[in-house]
Amino acid sequence: MDIADLVIDPAVSAEGVWAEYREGVAFLISSTNTADFALAQERIYGPIIDARASGRDKEWVERAMAEAEVELYCTNILRNWRGLESSGKPLEFSIETAKRLLSQPGAHHVFRFIRNSAARLDLFRAARTDALGKP
């Protein structure tokens, strides 16, 4: 592997890239490989982890973690979409609409696509450089 393949672009990672889901449908997603995402994870998951350590029941923890994961990705990773419609009309992106969509049990495959794409380093790669960082 070329060393240049390991370098990601911080601006692209934060601003996002369009990831094609299916023909005509794409999601603008940021990378999970950012300091902001790591901080958001701690902020969102921390109270649930603390509750689990304090003895909260397993079902509550699992439900809270699933809800927190949707919250995390809708507020920190998913930036926009294109090609989605509702009743034949374009569906405008909003965080609340994204949460409703990705919380549906039948939309787990869409959520998995967004989550997996956000972790792909190749989508956020910096411009090719040599091993010394020179273009």
Distance between CA atoms of residues 46 and 65, nearest Å: 10
pLDDT reading at 1 higher than 90: no
Given a cut of 80, whether residue 6 has pLDDT beyond it is no
Average pLDDT, the chain: 90
Q: What SS3 class is residue 93?
A: coil
Q: What is the pTM of this model?
A: 0.86
Measure the CA angle with vertex 132, ends 128 and 135; round to 5°: 35
